[in-house]
Structure 1
Amino acid sequence: MLLHTLASFLAAMYEKTVLYVCTLLSTCFILLVIRQLVKQRRPRAFPPGPTPLPVVGNILSLALEPHVYMKKQSDVYGQIFSLDLGGISTVILNGYDVIKECLQHQSEVFADRPCLPLFQKMTKMGGLLNCRYGRAWIEHRKLAVNCFRCFGRGEMMFQKISEECMFFIDAIDTYKGKPFNPKHLVTNAISNVTNFIIFGQRFTYDDHDFQHMIEIFSENVELAASAWAFLYNAFPWIEYLPFGKHQRLFQNAKEVYDFLLQITEHFSQGRVRQSPRHYIDAYLDEMEQSASDKATSFSRENLIFSVGELIIAGTETTTNVLRWAILYLALYPNIQEKVQKEIDSVLNGRLPTLQDKQRMPYVDAVLHEVLRLCNVVPLGIFRATSQDTVVRGYTIPRDTMVITNLYSVHFDEKYWSQPASFCPERFLDSTGNFVKQDAFLPFSVGRRHCLGEQLAKMELFIFFTTLLQRFCLHFPQGVIPSLRPRLGMTLQPLPYSICAVRRQQ
């Protein structure tokens, strides 16, 4: 009888406990939903935008071609509108006029970075590209600019690019005109230009450790723009879910960090103070000089983040531009023929120099058209407002995330006739001279514009000109590759094979 009573009591207590726990969890869930819905309310005088779904907002709309979706929404709401990314109120800038108005005329206001959970997890808002606008950014930007000026310009850098270009050409020659996927060779060649600035030397094309790191970088650039990344920024607690692409992102980031830690230590050996051989030496000099300054942003951790960001920025973008250029030149043999005719008439068989670029307006026009049409970084790197501001009558509070749709600039019908067409002549005048176009912003604009712009242009010209001087490019017989891009933070071509046949000159 006593045991029966005890069992009944315990059963009743268990039922009450379960009821209390369920009630508590339900209450917490309801409160979280209410909190999320409150976060989704647009601030007063905020730009309008499409109606968000409860809790997730407009995130699902960005799953496929977000840059195209944003441009279409601008037809409805205007050049400046807003999206709700799971409770993160975000302003979208579309078209050349409004992007110039914000990024150039209010450069300092739009120079910050958003404190997104993904950025905090990956780089702790440190390093160079993702750090907040302030002293840390000024210190790291100044150091990087000085290093690019010292190690990345002038005759010495031109010589290094030319040497790497010869390695690239020799590697292509090994295929003897047979089909191959150029991604591996292009990636290695372009990354070695940045490697010279960062490490003071190149890596061979069969260095498996470095190749593996580059592959991980490329994968993370794709994953960082996936729907899972947007969901993580809105709901950081999904970090504890055992599935999802964000887990792969974090795993890759840890592996890259450990590898970069090893190679930065390796390349810092033999350093002579105040006589830097490369970026790592220069960074360590800054660390020592500011050791007594408690507010300094220079640290071993930020060195690793900076090195990783410079490798990504210097490799992923230029690599994909050159891959798109190869694809389009093979697709348009008449344009390829014009390019080669101009190269032959100017170079007459010798290697190109930087001075030759002024004498090759058509080559310059083709490269500009590839940059415009392919939109390698369609949404730039996300920005944030450093203070309250007003744009076209709309109030944008401080710390608001801002996305600049550079794709919309290059497809702005106000400035480009038939923007979806590949037409290098749009960069030439009636006499065949190269002309600049205002609505051309592949490297962004303002205080956060790409610091490697001049180096990238130098690389593209030398690699592109040397490649077309020596080879005719065409696809394998019966094959026409897709022009649909592979989506990520950058737009890269889908894998394709090319035949590079030695020209008879």
Structure 2
Amino acid sequence: MTETDKASIKSIIEKLKRGCVKSSEYYLDLFYLRQLKHEDKISTFCYEMEKLFDKGLPGLDEENRTRMLRSRLLSAVPETIKNYLEWLSEKKWPEIVHIFEKSVDYKEIYQGKFQIKEEVYLNKIYKSRTRSYKFNGTCSSGSFISPNSLPKSLSDKIENFIKTGNQSKCLDLRKTNLTIKLPPLIPGKFYLGNYFDLKEQPVHLSLTKLGEKYHHAFCINIFGQLMVVLNSREAIVQILSSKTLEYADRPSCFLLQLATNNSKDLVFSKPNIQWLQIRTAFHKFFSDMKKLHDRKDMTEIVFLEIWPDMYNQIEGLTNKKEPYEIKKIIYEFQSKILSVLLFGDEIAEDKYLLNEIRKLDTKSKEFISGLYNIMLNMNPLDNFLDNPSLSTLCQALNLQKSLMCKIFERATRRARNSLLSDQSDNICMRSIIDLLLPLLSLEKSLFTETQIKNVLTELIFAGIDGIVNTVNSFILYMCLNSNLQTRVYMEIKNNVHGDFVVLGDKKNLIVTEACIYETLRLVSQIPLGIFRKTVIRTELFGYVIPEETIVIPNLWKLHHDEKIYKDPFKFDPDRFIDAEKLSLKIDDTKFMFPFGTGKRGCPGKNVALNLIFLFVSSLVKNFEFKLVDDVDGDPRSFRLTSNLEPKSFRVQSTLRITSTTNLIQMSTKKSEVKTLCTDRSSLIKSIQENRHNLSDDES
């Protein structure tokens, strides 16, 4: 082996380091968040790399091989380099030549540590649907690719090319045009695209109608913006589960950037380490509080403390035989429950602050009601001109700023008073904000104050309206199906022996649980989910989805697919019940995504399901409901605002025979929520270590 050969090997190794199309931080985050699976093509990277080493690259001795393995090149190399090594093993010469042409500077690798430079926006491989590639013997850095710098088979081809100049024969580039096969595009009008197709009826119904002739996916075009709509269960499951990180980004525009302070939030944030740490902190809080309360869920404790007041209010209306909107009562008490979970009972008991929290929720709802139009780019001029959405958003941001300052001040004072002088490194928690605030006062904070304010605001909206609308719809379907309401009541009566329904009763209330899942399926409150955007170029059932493409999962189509659900617009909870085993069909519920799933799924899914169960079972156990107004239960007639919901309706209720002894006792009982004190350093270490182990189910 000559010194020239050895120098050439060093050159190719350097090119391996430089052959990426994204910033180093981007790929580092992406790789460590990825859950590799055996059938995933990218997951064969380590095997292909070692196989390449075993074949023996010229000049790569055992010492260099060991050093590369120890430096964790195998586990930290960026996505494009993984592709490069696969191409090299599979002899895909056009792609190999092109990646050398687009070679860029990358980070240096040291024994498992990375020296990351400032983020630089780099070239992308795929700029358009069709592109021609031409190799001229040089790469973008200007250095000549020597035949000795590549494996022998490729060296021979390059050398032959240099001598003859015959590109097609030497490099086997029989096709100089590489065509990306996108899903079929719905025909539209010039420039406007499919704008008018989506204006005919609510957007989820329009997209379902447009996709009738297509299977897995199709494309739409709105004012020149190309988007991919997922149209089958298989496609949606793939992007939400097995390829969740390849589709983990979110669309963005001026209004969304303004609303989230440039994506400093939980819903629209980039899928980076901070984003995952916030989710981890959220799950850790509820997990640790459950341990503190002897495996009793905190949502159950708070609900049972609020329930007596709710019971008394409904009982008063029942005795007066007055019709009332059950939704308003549910909203009043769910907003209080959520305020306790987020900010503590002290703030939830402050009528002024609780009213301000409800105002912020209302303003957020007004803005979010136009979210699909914003993400679909239906009103592109809204990004530049004054408009109602911008006005509503500014009002919401002003309200958020004022409210969060007061809450932060109150929570900080409470935390200071709860600690002794020798416990300065302790954190005492009774609510989410008690966990997040102390993490701001670190030398290197895990989160920023803006992030925490935005996350809390999103939790206010999602935690109130999603649960309220589900419980309200559940009561509607109980009224429309009186026999089913009786069936649910008899199940509760026969299986709940105390005065209160608790989460431990879930396993015995199969019909109640099935009715909850059927409500979530039939209504599909967020019919198109929150749109995704690809972080890398990926494939889907033979189609290529380019990088930074907006992807729309049509959950409405999934939840009302006649091939999956017989008579899909009928309220039929028995579709989720195994009649032989008298149990819930767990596998069927896994293919429903009212809360999303994967790393982008709702972090409060379990909290929401627990509260929905406690609300509906407690209401049906104690009251019988009848409709006063005519309401269409077909969700195709529901209004699409911030959620899909039925029009307002009133009910009358009848009190069932029940004991109120414990209700009277509980209404005067002191809160059972305990204070969890923990060491700040241990908490931070736990959040940082556990973020890689956060499973999709936890999400």
Instruction: Give TM-score scaled by structure 1 length.
Output: 0.84
Report the counterpart of residue 425 of structure 1 in structure 2.
Answer: 574
CA shift, 1:54, in A, is 3.3
Q: Deviations over 1:125-165 (max 9, x none)?
A: 11111101112312222222222333478425122122222
Tell me which of 149, 156, 166 is aligned to 2:308: 166
Report the counterpart of residue 248 of structure 2 in structure 1.
Answer: 111
Report the counterpart of residue 68 of structure 1 in structure 2.
Answer: 205
CA shift, 1:269, in A, is 1.9
Q: Deviations over 1:184-235 (max 9, x none)?
A: 221222233322221012357895333322322332332323x467447734
Tell me which of 286, 289, 293 is aligned to 1:148: 286
The 1:57–1:167 alpha-carbon spacing in structure 2 relative to 1, beyond 3 Å, is farther
Amino acid at match of 2:434: D
Distance 1:151 1:84 in 2: 48
- 1:275-354 alignment to 2 at 5 Å? 275-289=428-442, 291-292=443-444, 298-348=447-497, 350-354=499-503
Report the counterpart of residue 46 of structure 1 in structure 2.
Answer: 182
Report the counterpart of residue 621 of structure 2 in structure 1.
Answer: 469
Report the counterpart of residue 76 of structure 2 in structure 1.
Answer: none
Tell me which of 170, 182, 186 is aligned to 2:326: 182
Distance 1:130 1:161 in 2: 30
Amino acid at match of 1:266: R
Distance 2:356 2:481 in 1: 37
- Single out whichever of 214-223 and 315-324 deviates more from structure 2: 214-223
Conservation of the 8 A alpha-carbon contact between 1:112 and 1:383: yes
Distance 1:435 1:271 in 2: 45
How many residue pairs are counted as aligned between the two chains? 457
Tell me which of 268, 275, 280 is aligned to 1:130: 268
Report the counterpart of residue 451 of structure 1 in structure 2.
Answer: 603
CA shift, 1:260, in A, is 2.8
Q: Deviations over 1:28-83 (max 9, x none)?
A: xxxxxxxxxxxxx9774222222233333323433432112222222223221112
Partner SS, residue 610 of structure 2: helix
Partner SS, residue 473 of structure 2: helix
Distance 1:88 1:53 in 2: 13
CA shift, 1:332, in A, is 0.9
Amino acid at match of 2:475: I
Report the counterpart of residue 643 of structure 2 in structure 1.
Answer: 490
The 1:159–1:183 alpha-carbon spacing in structure 2 relative to 1, beyond 3 Å, is same
Query: Sequence identity of aligned pairs in percent?
Result: 25
Establish whether residue 81 from structure 1 lines up as the match of residue 218 from structure 2: yes
Distance 1:42 1:502 in 2: 65
Partner SS, residue 413 of structure 2: coil
Conservation of the 8 A alpha-carbon contact between 1:104 and 1:446: yes
Q: Deviations over 1:475-494 (max 9, x none)?
A: 12xx3223321213421221
Unaligned runs of 5+ in 2: 1-127, 131-179, 417-425, 659-699
Conservation of the 8 A alpha-carbon contact between 1:116 and 1:233: no
Partner SS, residue 621 of structure 2: helix
Distance 1:458 1:232 in 2: 37
Partner SS, residue 133 of structure 1: coil
Amino acid at match of 1:480: D
Report the counterpart of residue 267 of structure 1 in structure 2.
Answer: 411
Report the counterpart of residue 233 of structure 2 in structure 1.
Answer: 96
Partner SS, residue 402 of structure 1: strand
The 1:354–1:51 alpha-carbon spacing in structure 2 relative to 1, beyond 3 Å, is same
The 1:90–1:229 alpha-carbon spacing in structure 2 relative to 1, beyond 3 Å, is closer
Report the counterpart of residue 409 of structure 1 in structure 2.
Answer: 558
Distance 1:119 1:152 in 2: 35
Report the counterpart of residue 56 of structure 1 in structure 2.
Answer: 192
Amino acid at match of 1:142: T
Unaligned runs of 5+ in 1: 1-40
Establish whether residue 217 from structure 1 lines up as the match of residue 361 from structure 2: no
Partner SS, residue 178 of structure 1: coil
Tell me which of 549, 574, 585 is aligned to 1:435: 585
Establish whether residue 502 from structure 1 lines up as the match of residue 643 from structure 2: no
Report the counterpart of residue 31 of structure 1 in structure 2.
Answer: none
Conservation of the 8 A alpha-carbon contact between 2:248 and 2:534: yes
- Single out whichever of 267-276 and 177-186 deviates more from structure 2: 267-276
Distance 1:380 1:474 in 2: 32
Amino acid at match of 1:69: S
- State the Cα RMSD in Å: 2.5
Conservation of the 8 A alpha-carbon contact between 2:195 and 2:222: yes
Amino acid at match of 1:472: E
Instruction: Give TM-score scaled by structure 2 length.
Output: 0.62
- Single out whichever of 328-337 and 83-92 deviates more from structure 2: 83-92
Looking at both structures, which has the greater relative contact order when contacts are Cα pairs under 8 Å and sequence separation is at least 6?
1
